[in-house]
Structure 1
Amino acid sequence: MAKVAFLGLGVMGGPMAGHLAKKGGHDVTVYNRTTPKAEAWVKIYGGAFAPTPRQAAEGAEIVFACVGNDDDLRSVVLGDDGALAGMTPGAVFVDHTTASAEVARELAAAAEAKGLGFIDAPVSGGQAGAENGVLTVMCGGDAATYAKVEGAIGSFARACRLMGPAGAGQLTKMVNQICIAGLVQGLSEGVHFAKRAGLDVEAVLDVISKGAAGSWQMENRGKTMNAGKFDFGFAVDWMRKDLGILLDEARRNGAKLPVSALVDQFYAEVQAMGGNRWDTSSLVARLER
């Protein structure tokens, strides 16, 4: 057990904080930009809520965060009301936001200057993974700091690994999103082709999923793609944010990502269709309009 704080109670952060309280048995104080959501969380899971990140972080051994983007992250970490201002030397800040490697290194340096630890720890597994406590967590930081938080992260993760120094977790998450972008586009084209060919799409997916074409996306999104159901899962807006981050990083490091860049534009078309909050599997919808 540890005294911990969790900043950000969205579709990912809320369940993750809940697992820390219920499965991990930790003493959890939460913060959310909209207080009613924090109050509702406390009614379900116990613990306490605080009006600022700084107050939530006071006395915590580990402070977790899962917010929207780089600027959201800076707003809860830095400044007079930020978490770092309330943390005690030796405590660790763990960031589960999918953000840039650049901001991870910036905040790691800010934490180190105050005698604090920092781990960038983006997750994969989506809302269902958060709710079921089976996320995959990719971490950046030093080994001694990681060892302090690995057990607590296990409250909501089935896999957690240190990938390298600060920023390495975010870079690994970028690889994850690169792979997903290409997979979802390929699956969308496969479903679309099967329909046009007059095949039984579910039968096709069932048989090819047993071979080399099989994937998590096929198992979990193939049937819903075929049915035109996109009102769940990881939103297109979020995927475009992630693709923007990794394409910016690619411009810096010289990586060539033609498929990722193309799929980003396809998602822009989905947004123009009104699909901002549709699941990322909605790529098939632009083929069928």
Structure 2
Amino acid sequence: MTMNSINPRVYEPAPARRVAFLGLGVMGYPMAGHLARAGHEVTVYNRTATKSEAWCAEFTGADGTKHAKTPREAAQGAEIIFCCVGNDDDLRSVTLGADGAFAGMQPGAIFVDHTTASAEVARELYGAARTLGLQFVDAPVSGGQAGAQNGQLTVMCGGDQAAFDAVRPTGMAFARAFTRIGNSGAGQLAKMVNQVCIAGLVQGLSEAIAFGMHAGLDMPLVLDVIGKGAAQSWQMDNRGKTMALGRFDFGFAVDWMRKDLGLVLDEAKRNGARLPVTALVDQFYGDVQRAGGQRWDTSSLITRLLPAKP
């Protein structure tokens, strides 16, 4: 299986839609693939055109797959436009302006943004879309690259109920849960809650594993034992043993986590939330970046607590 290949799954019945997908990174590539495999007519756009061409070559067996030169071209005629890019500025670049998706969308079409971005930009683009007679749903995801490949992402949505109801059956092609949290921006805020939880869990797991290793314990055995009790978590089940082995060449990169925690901390300044542990863990991830771990998995927090390898 290649890095971007999707795993086979059984898709929930849903009416075939004409859709677009903007952004074919490690998440978007398999997400768009699930849409094609589920029977939807998919047009893709990626800033690097060779990635779009590779995607179309992989999914030539699906009906109607093609790639476009601009977001506007990809959006033309699509009922739903899905998007997964890097940050607020990337999102504005594929939605706004003469070549942006909004310029090509038909009245009533729905833009569904899976980027982890700020609640502020979600509300900004929701307003811009409504002015044009379009609909916008912020819908960040949790589950990582493996969740995207397996079609098992958790999707947290903000926006109007009618728009959410219209896109959910299609979005379930790559999701195990597709839930409306509230009005515009609520999906992004829920993703921030998710990242706060992960930051604290990974730091606690790092300290626990480092403690056990310093104590001379058989940590794979210890993790098997405590993973059957109250300490169990997704992070322990999926990252505990690789942390003990010093393997970090996979998963959600430190650079991405720092971007996400920056969004969290900015939002906390606005809403008055106190996040002392999150702020500290963000600094710890800065240490990992300076040690050369920008693209390591987020579980690499443990490297700060262990002796450097000779």
- Range into which the TM-score falls when normalised by the shorter chain: over 0.9
Q: Distance in 2 between matches of 1:100 and 1:276?
A: 22
Q: Does 1:193 align with 2:211?
A: yes
- 1:129-180 C-alpha deviation (Å, 9 max, x unpaired): 0000000000000111101100111000001100000000000000000000
Partner of 2:121: 103
CA shift at 1:286, angstroms? 1.0
Q: Distance in 2 between matches of 1:153 and 1:178?
A: 25
Partner of 1:208: 226
Partner of 1:32: 46
CA shift at 1:45, angstroms? 1.1
Partner of 2:13: none
What amino acid is aligned across from residue 13 of structure 1 in structure 2?
Answer: G
Partner of 1:20: 35
Q: Distance in 2 between matches of 1:210 and 1:251?
A: 38
* 1:234 match: secondary structure: coil
Q: Counting helix residues as a fraction of each chain, which structure ranks higher?
A: 1
Give the number of aligned pairs.
288
What amino acid is aligned across from residue 43 of structure 2 in structure 1?
Answer: T
How do residues 66-105 of structure 1 correspond to structure 2 at under 5 angstroms? 66-105=84-123
Q: Distance in 1 between matches of 2:305 and 2:170?
A: 43
Partner of 2:26: 11
How do residues 215-234 of structure 1 correspond to structure 2 at under 5 angstroms? 215-234=233-252
Q: Distance in 1 between matches of 2:196 and 2:142?
A: 13
Q: Distance in 2 between matches of 1:126 and 1:145?
A: 25
How do residues 1-289 of structure 1 correspond to structure 2 at under 5 angstroms? 1-22=16-37, 24-46=38-60, 47-288=65-306, 289=308
CA shift at 1:256, angstroms? 0.3
- 1:208-233 C-alpha deviation (Å, 9 max, x unpaired): 11111000000000000000000000
Q: Distance in 1 between matches of 2:275 and 2:170?
A: 35
Q: Distance in 1 between matches of 2:228 and 2:178?
A: 27
RMSD over aligned Cα, in angstroms?
A: 0.5
Q: Distance in 1 between matches of 2:177 and 2:285?
A: 29
Q: Stretches of 4+ moved more than 4 A in 1?
A: none
CA shift at 1:285, angstroms? 0.6
- Aligned-pair identity in percent equals 70
What amino acid is aligned across from residue 224 of structure 2 in structure 1?
Answer: D
What amino acid is aligned across from residue 199 of structure 1 in structure 2?
Answer: L
Taking structure 1 as the reference length, the TM-score comes to 0.99
Taking structure 2 as the reference length, the TM-score comes to 0.92
CA shift at 1:182, angstroms? 0.2
